[in-house]
Structure 1
Amino acid sequence: MVASKTVCLRRLSRGDRALEVRFNRFLGHDKVTAERIIESWGEGTVAAVGGRHVLAIQDTSEIHFNTTSQRRRGLGEIGKGNNYGVLLHPLLAVDADDGTCLGLLSGQIWTRKGRRATSHDDRELSDKESQRWISTVVAARPLLTKAAAVTVLGDRESDIFALYASSAEQRVHVIARSMHDRKLADRNDLYEASDAMAAVDRRAIELPARAARPARLAQLELCFGAIELARPQSKFLRHLPKSLSLAVIDVREINAETGVEPLHWRLLTSHEVTSVEDAWRIVQWYKQRWIIEQFFRVLKTQGLKLEDSQIGTADRLLKLVAIAAKAAVITIQLLQARDGGQQPILVAFNENEISTLAALNQQLEARSKRLKNPHPPDSLAWAAWIIGRLGGWDGYPSSKPPGPITLKNGLEYFQAVAAGWSLRDMCML
């Protein structure tokens, strides 16, 4: 999938009907489950998180698959009920210091089974889809024991009191963008309190591009303070503390250009924030959330085009989404690795592939004795240098780094070589 930039089984098979049948049988096998594939996501991530401050970034994306009233493929409603598809909620590990994508940790993939008759307010958290924001973190916690620190990070939908409360139990910190104007312990409103805080600094922040917004330099005004967040009045939350001590960081864009919606983030965090630099550090960490947006783009419109899959049943689509998620992360890691970095090679390549890369590297360096792979051989950057060379990049530091198409071409070539290399010790009679 990474090499071919597609999840279409027919294209992956390249005209080999037997291979296409084997792919379908794999997805249809009872012992192959989406849950087990998700469990395997973190196998390469565990080694990468050691000693790092990890941002565990989570979000939910709707994956729309075309259906008709006669052929729903077993898929439930998404969006406003006018589309059908699958929901994907991954937890992505990112280095807080340099933004390196370390890999997937845990997640959930599901399709809805009809509409719920009981209203949202009359159900326990465990009976709501929003429980995923907590259970996904709980599932990932064993994989993060060697991390120096962990900060769970999410957008507005993760503004859940129970998530803030559970962070202490899981020994992690949390940063979430506020969605609700909550009550504080003194019965004042959160937004009223943050609006009353004095601005303490201004700074220019580079905002990455999004689907409906080009990249731009935003002038932000900062204020922050400590708050005591009151527990919501729901009867289902009475087992949680009556209040939680958090910090709020309020950043607002000033002097935005005409026609541009000004940025305004109210960030709630369990981190202690006592200085201007502490507050800006929280803002910088929250900015890393764009990596999961990039992940979803690679998975869908700008990469693997997952939504174009023609697989006919929901259970197989769930498995396909789980596999494609891993492919999307490897794509991001390779793009990051082309500029260097310390990602271990094992996050993307197995032992046989590494030995293939070593042989290819020796061959590439022999062709041009003055041009050497500058990266450590146990790093993903070392592999990306080789893949880029195979795709047509000249390898010189003065040249522009290889782009997605060059890496794609190099991966396709490498995939064929690796298949042959795996047969090198077979006895042909």
Structure 2
Amino acid sequence: MVTESTPWTQTEFEQLDLGDARLNKRARLLMERMAADPTASVPQAGHGWGETIAAYRFFDNEKVQWHAILEPHWQQTQKRMQTHQVVLCLQDTTELDFNGQDALGLGPLTYEAQRGMFVHPTYAVTPQREPLGILDAWMWAREKKDDSGRRGGPKESLRWIEGYERIAEMAPDMRSTRLVYVADREADLMALMERADALGNPADWLVRAAHNRSLPEGDKLWERATHDEAVGEIAFPMAARQGVKARTVRQRLWLQRVQLPASKSKSVAATCLVAREFDAPAGVKPIEWRLLTNRTATTLDEAAELIEWYRARWEIEILFNVLKNGCQVEELQLGTIERLERALALFLVVAWRVTYLMRLGRTCPDLDARLFFDPDEIRAAYLLTKTPRSVQPKLNEVLRLVARLGGFLARKGDGEPGAETIWKGLTKVHIAAQTMRLLRDDGDADTSV
């Protein structure tokens, strides 16, 4: 367990092995610097020119493989998973736009003229949305289309199938934990469902349907699913987002077990769940989800559980938001895709840590803050907010102070802080903590609260 004198990276990267003790030490130090100030550039994160040069040398080292950087975090994530009965393994892809940079190895994005790369992680969270960590990742750049309009390289849809296979490989070592693969419409692939079926469904899968398939009986999937009476109704709060007001969503749910046509005249058994909003506010498009899963579900409670699992998929969008806007990875100027991959391996863990702190502050508010922040960071949070320091500061208390520095108002009706105010606040806390260390090293005034 992390203690007041042990940086969290020592535990999270305990098994790090880059083939050289100096490289291991450099990787841990880079992680500490980046996590302390997620928005900082590489030169800003380093303590002096020497650290900055060492960081660039690390990213340029061809002996360092990006997956080797992530390997110890993957192991720690699996340890955390084993303490839960159900773990949702979220998958999605985000594109990183490095347009205007001359980095070698980049390729076209959604718009052919843009240049960048893609990142596709597997993100483990609990049904209560506590982020447990990154389980796996794919990074790649697309090849340009040839004169005939075809694009070379591996078929990108394979990442969804390989992602399931990776989760299935873990299942035998987690017999007390149910693993659930959760993905959006891009994962509505018969090849994925067939592969899971061939493996015996060691991990459950839950994907949003994109195709209204023709069924063996001659009718269509979505019409069949809603032919009978709804199994019941649910309601849940939907938080406000840009341009969308917060509201309560009410949905009717339908369940139908079906046989989906597969290759070679075979079929795959699946449950189709349709969740359709009713009484939506005027001018608002009703929310309708059509989900497919290997799990058998016949009751309202079972259907509601599946909806909650699918709604938790939003956590990977939060991870991408922190990665892009908090860590500002699209501003990295490292010259080659290989260097970018090494940096992204570190920043993926940093993004997880920000979301981990955010969720843990809500679910386990009374944890000792010293398990997550060093003494100077805690002192800085109290000093900068002009708040009397607690004798035994709790995680939620310190997080709210950090978030206040990032713009969180902390009014009675404001709820708990989000990831953005936390990463912005961490930047100010980092600067203040660093100043206190320099003053102490210089023998200056007492920096205690």
Bin for the TM-score computed over the shorter chain? 0.7 to 0.9
Residue matched to 1:260: 284
| Distance in 1, Cα, partners of 2:389 & 2:49 | 43
Alpha-carbon distance change, 201 to 43 in structure 1, aligned in 2, over 3 angstroms: same
1:105 aligned to which of 102, 123, 135: 135
Choose 195-204 or 174-183, whichever is displaced more.
195-204
1:310 and 2:333 correspond: yes
Residue matched to 1:335: 358
Any residues of structure 2 matched to 1:65-214 within 5 Å, and which?
Answer: 65-67=98-100, 71=102, 73-96=104-127, 98-115=128-145, 127-143=154-170, 145-146=173-174, 148-168=177-197, 169=199, 171-211=202-242, 213-214=244-245
Report how far residue 406 of structure 1 moved.
4.0
Alpha-carbon distance change, 370 to 178 in structure 1, aligned in 2, over 3 angstroms: closer
Measured against aligned partners, the alpha-carbon deviations of 1:303-337 in whole angstroms (never above 9, x if no partner) come to 11221222222221222222211110100001112
Task: Decide whether the 8 Å contact of 2:103 with 2:333 is kept in 1.
Answer: no
Choose 82-91 or 71-80, whichever is displaced more.
71-80
Alpha-carbon distance change, 41 to 130 in structure 1, aligned in 2, over 3 angstroms: farther
| Distance in 2, Cα, partners of 1:358 & 1:217 | 41
Measured against aligned partners, the alpha-carbon deviations of 1:253-312 in whole angstroms (never above 9, x if no partner) come to 1232333222110000111101111111111110001111111111113x1122122222
Report how far residue 104 of structure 1 moved.
0.8
Residue matched to 1:283: 307
Task: Decide whether the 8 Å contact of 1:28 with 1:316 is kept in 2.
Answer: yes
Residue matched to 2:267: 243
| Distance in 1, Cα, partners of 2:107 & 2:142 | 4
Give the SS at the match of 1:244.
strand
Alpha-carbon distance change, 104 to 207 in structure 1, aligned in 2, over 3 angstroms: same
2:60 aligned to which of 28, 45, 49: 28
Over the aligned positions, Cα root-mean-square deviation in angstroms equals 3.9
| Distance in 1, Cα, partners of 2:142 & 2:439 | 43
Report how far residue 93 of structure 1 moved.
0.5
Alpha-carbon distance change, 316 to 131 in structure 1, aligned in 2, over 3 angstroms: same
| Distance in 1, Cα, partners of 2:248 & 2:373 | 44
Consecutive unaligned residues in structure 1, runs of 5 or more: 233-237, 375-380, 422-429
Task: Decide whether the 8 Å contact of 2:273 with 2:303 is kept in 1.
Answer: yes
Consecutive unaligned residues in structure 2, runs of 5 or more: 1-33, 441-449
Any residues of structure 2 matched to 1:353-392 within 5 Å, and which?
Answer: 357=374, 371-373=391-393, 381=395
| Distance in 1, Cα, partners of 2:390 & 2:66 | 48
Give the SS at the match of 2:225.
helix
| Distance in 2, Cα, partners of 1:391 & 1:127 | 43
Measured against aligned partners, the alpha-carbon deviations of 1:191-228 in whole angstroms (never above 9, x if no partner) come to 23124233232232222344554433222121111111
Percent same amino acid among aligned pairs? 25
1:372 partner letter: Q
Task: Decide whether the 8 Å contact of 1:3 with 1:409 is kept in 2.
Answer: no
Residue matched to 1:39: 71
Choose 72-81 or 153-162, whichever is displaced more.
72-81
Alpha-carbon distance change, 51 to 156 in structure 1, aligned in 2, over 3 angstroms: same
Alpha-carbon distance change, 103 to 187 in structure 1, aligned in 2, over 3 angstroms: same
Residue matched to 1:225: 256
Task: Decide whether the 8 Å contact of 1:230 with 1:242 is kept in 2.
Answer: yes
1:5 aligned to which of 38, 43, 65: 38
Give the SS at the match of 1:163.
helix
**TM-score normalised to structure 2 length:** 0.75
| Distance in 1, Cα, partners of 2:235 & 2:71 | 40
Measured against aligned partners, the alpha-carbon deviations of 1:110-134 in whole angstroms (never above 9, x if no partner) come to 11132368998x99xx941011112
2:163 partner letter: T
Report how far residue 392 of structure 1 moved.
8.3
Give the SS at the match of 1:338.
helix
| Distance in 1, Cα, partners of 2:161 & 2:342 | 23
Task: Decide whether the 8 Å contact of 2:116 with 2:141 is kept in 1.
Answer: yes
Alpha-carbon distance change, 205 to 359 in structure 1, aligned in 2, over 3 angstroms: closer
Report how far residue 82 of structure 1 moved.
2.4
Alpha-carbon distance change, 82 to 318 in structure 1, aligned in 2, over 3 angstroms: same
Residue matched to 1:299: 323
Task: Decide whether the 8 Å contact of 1:3 with 1:412 is kept in 2.
Answer: no
Residue matched to 1:427: none
Measured against aligned partners, the alpha-carbon deviations of 1:62-116 in whole angstroms (never above 9, x if no partner) come to 1111226xx36431000121211110101111112x2111111101011113236
Task: Decide whether the 8 Å contact of 2:236 with 2:250 is kept in 1.
Answer: yes
Report how far residue 370 of structure 1 moved.
7.2
Give the SS at the match of 2:157.
helix
Choose 57-66 or 162-171, whichever is displaced more.
162-171
Task: Decide whether the 8 Å contact of 1:161 with 1:231 is kept in 2.
Answer: yes
Report how far residue 413 of structure 1 moved.
5.3
Alpha-carbon distance change, 390 to 179 in structure 1, aligned in 2, over 3 angstroms: closer
1:321 and 2:344 correspond: yes
**TM-score normalised to structure 1 length:** 0.78
